[in-house]
Amino acid sequence: MHIPALLKIGFVFAAALLAIRKDIALGHIFMGSSVLLGFIFGMTPLQLLNGIYHALTHPKTLALACVVSMILVLSHSMEKAREMERLLDSFQGLVRNPRLNLVIFPALIGLLPMPGGAIFSAPMVKNIGSRLGLTGAQLSYINYWFRHIWEYWWPLYPGILLTTTLSGIDLWKFIFCTFPLTVVAILSGYLPLGKVIVSGRSENHPSHPPIKPFLKGLIPIAIVIIGGLGLGSVLSIFWPSTWAPVSKELGLISALTVSVVYVWVKNGFTLRECLSVIVQKQLVKMFYMVCSILIFKTILEESHAAGQITDELLSLGIPLMPVCIILPFLMGLITGITIAFVGTSFPILIVLIKSANQANFMLPYLMLALASGFIGVLVSPVHLCLLLSNEYFHTALQPVYRYVAVPCTILFASMVAYFGLLRYFLPPS
């Protein structure tokens, strides 16, 4: 009996989502999904092992896993050294407008990916917001929303790196085309608060604090962004052709290493403290998760599952654009994790885009998919940052959702309009 490929992949996704609800590690889920996918689509055990081997030995897999792991090392190093706390402290008084401070404190924390990072900026937001008479729901919304304004393009976020790795789109080209979504997120983020924020008066400080400590606090992040961009460009020119496809990742790895060493030396880390940052279970889990996602992508291709799914979607006459919106959104809503919706839906979408003869417009379609998936993440009831922020400000989900709904709606309309502009004006890649 012939079973449609859409039903087969639906079964794999259902099993994966059930495992997520059971709090099974994402690495195990993607690895298990890869094995299940291979068997359902007729791969032999030997073919499955070959597919796993090909994925694990591909330079992109190793490079991306190292980049994501090094980002985690930098994040933990800065957290252990209390670098982000000092950065926030040094910023106080530099800007006297409370409206800007309410945004900037969570936004600064958002520059560095860390699980549940919204809890770090919560005390600062509470301190400023309480003087403006804001409610717990408003404070939680501000802390949550502006913490996540960077995830559409910031190269330290694994979801961005995974998207460019899966699609083959140049990282900096992708960044250039997606950063306007952050502008939309910032501007629309103010709207639900209305006159409460607009009427906030400037804070009075006897004198401006020096800006030098704040700029010094930004050095670790600046090393990664500026150094990663520069080294990646140099390596793409001079590195042997075998490693040319991962030159950007190698540049980031080098810059991240320099940044980590800078934090360690500056803060006088002992050997024991350095090892405590490197030798930890979370780092191994992250490395394993990235590898398992790319194994899933490889098995999806080598089992011909992606091709069969694409053929069925095309035969049903379902337009490409709604698929690129709905599939990532649902995955983001259910998982509450960016890298999860990218890892599950993007391998299928990329093949679908190519099969629909739209490969020249891969960037606009993936921008649409990323923004839609992230809207799903933002409204997900299992998003860790949302849960932690609500707990800190003693508020429930429903009142915060009322504030989140406005910018999410604007963001959705903007991404659709922006998609049309990119399709029309962007030169085919």
* pLDDT for the residue numbered 244: 59
Query: Between the CA of residue 215 and those of 94, 223, 317, 320, what are the distances in Å?
Result: 11, 12, 54, 45
pLDDT at residue 93 above 90? no
User: Looking at the domain assignment, is residue 403 inside a domain?
Assistant: yes
Q: Render pLDDT for 99-144 as a digit per residue (tens, 0 to 9).
A: 777 888 889 888 878 766 777 778 878 877 877 788 999 999 999 9
Q: Render pLDDT for 36-73 as a digit per residue (tens, 0 to 9).
A: 999 999 999 999 999 999 999 988 888 888 888 888 89
User: Looking at the domain assignment, is residue 201 inside a domain?
Assistant: no
pLDDT confidence band for 237 (50 / 70 / 90): low
User: Looking at the domain assignment, is residue 89 inside a domain?
Assistant: yes
User: Looking at the domain assignment, is residue 199 inside a domain?
Assistant: no
Residue type, 291: C
Q: Please tell me whether residue 95 adopts helix, strand or coil conformation.
A: strand
pLDDT confidence band for 204 (50 / 70 / 90): low
Bridge partners, residue 369, by sequence: none
What distance in Å separates the CA atoms of residue 114 and residue 77, rounded to the nearest whole number?
11
Between residues 118 and 223, which one has the greater pLDDT? 223
**Full domain range(s) for residue 285:** 5-192+211-425
Q: What's the chain's Rg over C-alpha atoms?
A: 22
pTM for this prediction? 0.83
Question: What percent of the chain stands above pLDDT 70?
Answer: 92
User: Looking at the domain assignment, is residue 198 inside a domain?
Assistant: no
pLDDT at residue 34 above 60? yes
User: Looking at the domain assignment, is residue 205 inside a domain?
Assistant: no
Task: Kindly state the average pLDDT of the residues 296-303.
Answer: 89
Residue type, 299: I
Mean pLDDT, the chain, integer: 86
User: Looking at the domain assignment, is residue 202 inside a domain?
Assistant: no
User: Looking at the domain assignment, is residue 349 inside a domain?
Assistant: yes
Number of domains in the chain: 1
* pLDDT for the residue numbered 205: 53
pLDDT confidence band for 203 (50 / 70 / 90): low
Between residues 372 and 306, which one has the greater pLDDT? 372
pLDDT at residue 240 above 90? no
Between residues 62 and 209, which one has the greater pLDDT? 62
What backbone phi and psi angles, to 5 degrees, belong to 92? -60, 130
